[in-house]
Amino acid sequence: TSADRPFTESERNFLAQIRDWGKKIILVVNKVDILASDAEREQVIAFVTNSARNLIGDVQAVFAVSAKLAKEAKAGNPRVWPSSGFESLEQFIYDTLDDDGRFRLKLLNPLGVGHKLVKKQLDQVETDLDSLQEDRQLLHDIEGQMNYYSDDMQRNFKARLSEIDNLLYEMEARGNDFFDEMIRIARIPDLIRAKNIEKSFEAEVVADTPQQIERRVSELVDWMVEQDLRQWTAVADHLAKRKDEHKHRIVGEGGPREGTLAYDRQRLVDSIGAATRRAVATYDKEQEAEQIAEAARNAVVSTGLAGVGVGVGVAIAIAAHVVWIDVTGILAGVAAATLGLLILPARRRKAKQELAEKLAELRDKLMSSLGEQFDREMRRGTQRIEDTISPFGRFVRAEHDKITQQQVVLAELEAHIIGLQAQLKSERLFA
């Protein structure tokens, strides 16, 4: 640099480029002859020295010289030689660049460059490992969230199944009330009208239970699809923020596909809906109503009030006629006692038992079918998320192993370089 323009921007940029390369730096301030006093000279030297040290750290030496005075001294005016400052500069060069010094500098120079490169790589390795640690934490968080998601889904699924289960229990309770009301002596005239009993059973007991179950199952399907879609999309979007940083290095591809989601939703609805409809369809309303009406008629016929071979309708008519027309006769009393105390209560209990068994079978089929579908879809959803994560997870593991190994090698190399530098600085190379 020079006294008239000390430490210019271009000089600053030059020093900034070489400051980390392990070079030994000395500063030469030229044109000090233009400074009017020693105070000005010391001020300029202090400014240059402080500026350089703030930028690059240690400065080995600072020399204030005047090339003009040195040239004048060489031209025949040796009196100005001491004022030129070149004497101390030349002496420093001679002392530093002897055989031992030159060889030392020749070795230290590439070691300094190598150390700079190694430090740069180590800094990059640490940055990469920090980034990969965030990736590993992300994958760990996703794994934990998936466990919570599975627990929440299981709990909510059981609650929704309970709603469907309650519909069947309510239907069973209505059936028991129906049997208590219908299968008794006072309702024998109604038992004759089998079709009416069937319609009453369908209207009062079955009611809209199948439609309610269909509706609840449809809501269950929508809920499962929505939760699965939300979880998968959230994970995929969360991963996308990190994957974009390494996109050009990842082998494999994962992420939500709108078409696939639409297809999966329809497949899920069809699969669960079909299984549910099959379970519900096993409970034939007309057949069950006919069987219950027939059981009621058989209770009347089995009293013995009608002869063998008489049709069911005729037997019910005869029994009803005998009971309700000849109310004052002994036969009517016997018939009433038999119907009320023995046969009808037994048939009523049997009807309740049969209804409970039918609904239990329906409940088992329905719950089993829905449970299997739920477990299957949970496995598929988990597998889909794992498939989405797996390319990124493999990338993170592979990069972490590779960069960790690089860090070990670079650390060993840096230690070796530092050792060589210390040895070169502390020992005399030539005797």
Position 342 scores a pLDDT of: 58
Residue 141 lies in a domain: no
My answer on whether 236 and 365 are in the same domain is yes
Q: Are 57 and 179 found together in one domain?
A: no
Local structure of residue 61 (DSSP, 8 states) = E
358-401 residue pLDDT tens:
777 767 776 777 777 778 778 877 887 777 677 777 877 888 89
Query: Tokens standing for 350?
Result: 């049997």
CATH of the domain at 56: 3.40.50.300
pLDDT computed for residue 110 by the predictor: 85
Do the domain assignments include residue 336?
yes
Residue 200 pLDDT > 70: yes
Structure tokens at 314: 């005729």
Are 91 and 155 found together in one domain? no
- pLDDT computed for residue 321 by the predictor: 32
Residue whose pair of structure tokens reads 């009406």 in the numeric block? 293
Same domain, 84 and 165: no
Q: Are 319 and 325 in contact (CB under 8 A)?
A: no
* Backbone dihedral angles phi then psi of residue 7, each to the nearest 5 degrees: 55, 65
User: What are the pLDDT digits (tens) for 330-359?
Assistant: 223 333 444 454 566 777 777 778 777 777
Backbone angles phi, psi at 112, to 5 degrees: -65, -45
- Which stretches of 207-311 are DSSP H helices? 209-243, 258-281, 285-301
Question: Is residue 52 within 8 Å of 59, Cβ to Cβ?
Answer: yes
**Residue 29 phi, psi (nearest 5):** -100, 110
CA distance 258 to 256: 6
**SS3 of residue 381 by DSSP:** helix
Q: Note whether 88 and 64 are within 8 A (CB).
A: no
DSSP 8-state symbol, 62: E
Whether residues 173 and 69 share a domain: the answer is no
- Tell me, yes or no, whether 352 lies in a domain: yes
Last residue within a domain, chosen from 96, 121, 140? 96
Write the CB contacts of 83 (distance below 8 Å, at least 6 apart in sequence): 33, 66, 69
Residue 101 has pLDDT above 90, yes or no: no
One domain for residues 249 and 362? yes
What pLDDT, on a 0 to 100 scale, did the predictor assign at position 286? 53
176, 401 contact by CB (below 8 A): no
Q: Does 184 lie in the same domain as 67? A: no
Judge if 206 and 344 occupy the same domain.
Answer: yes
Rg (alpha carbons) of the chain, rounded to whole number: 49
- Tell me: pLDDT of 414 over 90: yes
Residues 290 and 222 in one domain: yes
Whether residue 27 is contained in a domain is answered as yes
Q: Are 46 and 32 in contact (CB under 8 A)?
A: no
> What range does the domain containing 267 cover?
148-389
Q: How far apart are CA 70 and CA 31, in angstroms?
A: 11
Domain edge (last residue) among 96, 126, 159: 96
Kindly state whether residue 394 falls inside one of the protein's structural domains. Answer: no
The span from the CA of 187 to the CA of 344, in Å, is 11
Q: Is residue 134 part of a domain?
A: no
Domain stops at, among 96, 113, 135:
96
Q: Are 179 and 85 part of one and the same domain?
A: no
In a domain, 237, yes or no: yes
> What is the number of other CB atoms lying within 10 angstroms of the CB of residue 286?
11
Q: pLDDT category, 316, cuts 50, 70, 90?
A: very low
pLDDT at 259: 41
pTM of this structure: 0.57
Residue type, 333: G
What's the pLDDT tens digit per position in 9-52? 888 888 877 776 667 788 888 898 888 888 888 888 888 888 88
Lookup: tokens for 161 = 């199944």
As a whole number, mean pLDDT of residues 243-262 equals 45
Do 202 and 316 sit in the same domain of this protein?
A: yes
Number of domains composing the chain: 2
172 occurs within a structural domain: yes
How long is the chain? Answer: 431
Assess whether 154 and 91 both reside in one domain.
no
3-state secondary structure of 290: helix
- Give the C-alpha separation, 58 to 79, whole Å: 34
What would the mean pLDDT of 127-154 be, rounded to a whole number? 85
407: confidence class by pLDDT, cuts 50, 70, 90:
very high
124: closest CA among 413, 403, 397?
403
